[in-house]
Amino acid sequence: MQKMGFATLAALGAWLGVAAPAAAGDNTGDTLVRIQGTVLVPDSSAKIYSGGYKPTWDADVSTEVIPTLTITHFFTKNIAAELFCCFGKFNAEGKGQTPVHDLGDFWVFPPILTLQYHFDLVGGFKPYVGAGVQYIHFFDGGASDLSGAKIHLNDAWGFALQAGVDVELGKGWYLNADVKHVWLDTNADWHNGVTADVTVDPWIVSLGVGYRFNLSDLLGRRAEAAPLK
């Protein structure tokens, strides 16, 4: 499925190439789509319980590189909302004096919605900051070294902060760099008497390319778009 994610990125890139002539690039447009490569670095730890709290047992979540997509809508030239999304597969590993190494792998669907402030363009650079929420859906947990028991994690919500910059290339195209940090906790269960309170708190670092346009150009313009103020 990870390979499918990168194939999806390639398909989206091809779609942008086809859609671009129909939706002429506009550096003041109301919609910005970005395709990115993203490194997710969980700042993770766990309190593990097996017949009681085990203070010397801990766990970590793997760092992964995954394809991501963002869609940003501008309400004014400075205020926008962004939806970030992806799929990724991660692995939980025991550390400390945990008696097993492989605690199971799992898939995540972790969209993030942020409200952003975009600063005015300075020398081709357009920085922005944002804040919002992340929802993580965990699914398809795999078997672990805990007698083959599968890991199950509860879906969770977290608070997200963001900072980034778009570098104007012209005709609606941008290069993008973005960093997010999310504060998020969840619970893990192997349904064999072992449970854990898990802190995830991921750093999310993205690099990519974006294309900005007026959505009405793509959907079929019915009236002249009002300039963003």
d(CA 137, CA 110): 6
pLDDT at residue 180 greater than cutoff 70: yes
pLDDT of residue 17: 52
Q: Which domain holds residue 169?
A: 2-215
Low-confidence winner among 8-12, 39-43, 151-155, 165-169 (lowest mean pLDDT): 8-12
pLDDT beyond 50 at 35: yes
* pLDDT more than 90, % of the chain: 79
Residue 229: per-residue pLDDT: 58
- Mean per-residue pLDDT, 152-166: 98
User: One-letter amino acid identity for 157?
Assistant: W
Query: Mean of the pLDDT values across residues 213-217?
Result: 86
Binning pLDDT at 50, 70 and 90, where does residue 150 land? very high
The answer on pLDDT for 179 being more than 90 is: yes
Q: Which of 21-30, 48-57, 76-85, 137-146 has the lowest mean pLDDT?
A: 21-30
Among 122, 120, 135, 130, which Cα is nearest to 76's? 120
The answer as to whether 223 is a domain residue is: no
122 within some domain? yes
**Is it the case that residue 4 has pLDDT exceeding 60?**
no
* 139: β partners: 107
The answer as to whether 196 is a domain residue is yes
Residue 155 in domain: yes
pLDDT in the model for residue 222: 46
Q: Are 95 and 58 in contact (CB under 8 A)?
A: yes
H or E segment and range at residue 139: strand 125-139
pTM for this one?
0.86
**What's the confidence (pLDDT) of residue 220?**
64
For residue 97, the 8-state DSSP code is T
Rounded to whole angstroms, the Cα distance separating 212 from 33 reads 6
Instruction: Please check whether residue 28 lies inside any domain of the structure.
Output: yes
Mean pLDDT, residues 216-228:
64
Question: pLDDT of 89-117, one tens digit each?
Answer: 999 999 999 988 999 999 999 999 999 99
Average pLDDT of the residues in 178-199: 96
Could you tell me the pLDDT band of residue 217, with boundaries at 50, 70 and 90?
confident
Residue, of 28 and 181, whose pLDDT is higher: 181
> What spatial distance separates the first Cα and last Cα of the chain, rounded to whole Å?
42
Count how many domains the chain has. Answer: 1
> Does residue 181 form part of some domain?
yes
Can you give the CATH number for the domain in which 17 is found? Answer: 2.40.160.20
**Distance separating alpha carbons of residues 5 and 132, to the nearest angstrom:** 25
The reply to whether 222 falls in a domain is: no
pLDDT, the chain, mean: 89
Residue 47: Cβ within 10 Å count:
15
What is the C-alpha separation between 146 and 178, in angstroms, rounded? 38
Residue 221 domain flag:
no
